[in-house]
């Protein structure tokens, strides 16, 4: 009987390295899209001193509660407030029905989870909205949360 000789794999290893080198050589480098959030400036310095802008305010509460309304809360006006558990599909529909020039103010409360804020920021990118900002929650927003059993 003749002994079985193992095949020499050296040429195959060389071909494997050449293939790997060729694939990395022809692969085009791609830029990974990153959401960039600028440093906060006073609201008026970003959008001008005019009172004629159109805004939508999104307030994040605890246990994935979200409250959103058109405009801003003040003593003169009481906007219609929508509230509920953070449902991203519903929020996306509410965002998309607004004009692309609308400014979205996202106000996380102290009890809101970081993931909820990231989800809302992702929805702004998915809905292709360019004007949105993280803002500090104000006393009127806390009163809104209290009145809704926050």
Q: pLDDT tens, 30-48? A: 776 666 665 555 555 445 5
Distances, alpha carbon 26 to alpha carbons 13, 14, 20, 29, 52, in Å: 20, 19, 10, 9, 52
The domain spans of the chain are 52-101+111-147
DSSP alpha helices (H): ranges in the chain?
10-26, 43-47, 88-96, 114-126, 139-147
Q: What angle do CA 99, 104, 107 make, to 5 degrees?
A: 160
- pTM of the entire structure? 0.63
pLDDT of 61-80, one tens digit each? 888 888 888 877 666 666 77
């Amino acid at each position: 009987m003749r002994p079985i000789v193992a095949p020499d794999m050296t040429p195959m290893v060389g071909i494997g390295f050449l293939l790997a080198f060729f694939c990395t050589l022809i692969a085009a480098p791609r830029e990974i899209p990153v959401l960039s959030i600028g440093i906060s400036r006073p609201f008026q310095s970003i959008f001008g001193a005019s009172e004629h802008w159109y805004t939508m305010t999104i307030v994040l509460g605890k246990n994935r509660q979200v409250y959103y309304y058109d405009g801003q809360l003040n003593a003169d006006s009481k906007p219609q407030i929508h509230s509920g558990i953070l449902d991203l599909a519903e929020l996306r529909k509410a965002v998309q029905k607004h004009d692309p020039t609308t400014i979205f103010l996202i106000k996380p409360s102290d009890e809101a989870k970081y993931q909820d804020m990231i989800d809302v920021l992702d929805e702004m990118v998915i809905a292709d909205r360019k004007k949105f900002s993280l803002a500090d929650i104000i006393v009127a927003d806390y009163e809104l949360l209290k009145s809704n059993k926050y």
